Amino acid sequence: MTSVAGPGEDGGRRNVSDATGVLVLGACAAWSLITAGVRGGRPEGVLLAVLAVAAGYATGRICGALLPVAAPCAGALAGTGLTVAVPRLAPGPQIAVPLGHAGATAALLVLSTGAACCAAWAATPGRRSALGALAAGITVTAAVLGSVTGFVACAAVLLCSLAAGRVHRRGPGVAGLALGAALLTAGTWAVAGGALPGGVARFLEGPLTSHRIGLWRDALVLARRDAALGVGPGRFGDLSPTALRTLPPDGKPHSAPLQLAAEQGVVGVLLLAAAFCWVLYALWRSARPTPVALSAGAALTVLAGIASVGNALSFTAVSAGAGVLAGLATARPLTDDAPGRAGRARA
């Protein structure tokens, strides 16, 4: 059923989702400090990631309100340009593929594709095709850069965005995205715990590599050792036998949920899940057209999948980009001529 939201109802939704976001992000930062205080460790990485998401979200909200079409378009071009111009994305020793920056490259391209799709659905029909071509161009760029993961991930976002144009109720779509992220995380956990059948495990060992799976198993062992508090933020690399054999070592298990389970315990994993659910909730209650909200949600869900099998969230550019995309897709344009404002469908 289609409903038109009034200004008071719209403002109330924004207040609830914003307050929830503040509480969740604040809890993520506070818990990292608590675990570091009890177990020792280096919480700076988590704090920087939380700050990057918060700053990106605020930037996206402001830019999306002022320039609902131009801002996501500029974000897509900026993300693609950063990927092409700065392929290493971070200073310091570089880890060889597949444990290196391939995941971060794919993540930035996915976020760029999602931003281009948001711009296309927010634009007038006359400009929609050109902005859709931008999203397709970013997907092709991933292939040109040799990022197979990026190409597949960007194509998935593009297809989901096209399907979102035919969706009239965003509730089932958001629920499907949440289920997809949960299944991807559960699959990573199953691989780490050796719960998959032998044939499936051998098939996955090729693309994932035995070294990565070894890191995941070490993370699971550390998580079981202290499920309440973990071993402390940033201490995985000091305690994982597999990580210590990596040259040069990067100290990451290359899976965001497993890293938090090992370093911050069950509460850390629950807070990560809460942060993702908050973003989906904000998109569900967003005043933007349904295709915009679902396109952004698809990109962020694919990013969650990449982060579950890699260290993409360890890069500030990726964390900030995720916040920017979420902010763009939940901003309320200051102008009243944004396409689709008169008929936003919700469950």
DSSP string of 201-217, one letter each residue: HHHHHHHH-HHHHHHHH
User: What is the rounded average pLDDT of the residues 311-335?
Assistant: 92
Nearest Cα residue to 172 out of 330, 300, 347, 292: 347
129: nearest Cα among 117, 146, 139, 140: 117
Which tens digit of pLDDT belongs to each residue from 307-318?
999 889 989 999
Within 10 Å of residue 155's Cβ, how many Cβ atoms?
A: 17
State the pLDDT at residue 113: 97
pLDDT for residue 24 is more than 90: yes
Q: Are 306 and 322 in contact (CB under 8 A)?
A: no
Residue-level pLDDT at 95: 41
Q: Report pTM.
A: 0.90
Give the model's pLDDT for residue 89.
Answer: 58
Q: CA nearest 45: which of 301, 249, 259?
A: 259
Band of pLDDT at residue 248, cut at 50, 70 and 90: low
Taking only the tens place, the pLDDT of each residue in 161-213 is: 999 999 888 999 999 999 999 999 999 999 999 888 878 888 888 888 888 89
% of the chain surpassing 90 pLDDT: 65
Q: What is the DSSP string of 2-19?
A: B----HHHHHHHHHHHHH
Q: What is the pLDDT of residue 79?
A: 94
User: 345 by DSSP, 3-state: which?
Assistant: strand
- Terminal-to-terminal C-alpha distance of the chain: 7
The whole-chain average pLDDT of the chain stands at: 87
Tell whether the model's pLDDT for residue 5 goes beyond 50.
no
| Rounded Cα–Cα distance for residues 180 and 300 (Å) | 11
- pLDDT exceeds 90 at position 64: yes
Which pLDDT belongs to residue 134?
Answer: 95
Confirm if 305 and 184 have CB atoms less than 8 A apart. yes
Phi (first) and psi of residue 2, to 5 degrees: -90, 135
DSSP string, 226-280: TTTT-S-TT-HHHH-HHHHTSSS-----S-HHHHHHHHHHHHHHHHHHHHHHHHH
Residue 153, pLDDT score? 94
pLDDT at 326 over 70: yes
The partner residues of 345 in beta bridges, in order of sequence, read 2
pLDDT band of 251, cuts 50, 70, 90: confident
Judged against a pLDDT cut of 70, whether residue 332 lies above it is answered with yes
Average pLDDT over residues 330-343: 62
Task: Look at residue 339 and tell me whether its pLDDT is greater than 70.
Answer: no
Burial class (CB in 10 A: 0-12, 13-18, 19+), 72: buried
Which token pair is 242? 């597999």
CB atoms within 10 A of CB 11: 13
How far is it, in rounded angstroms, from Cα 317 to Cα 291?
25
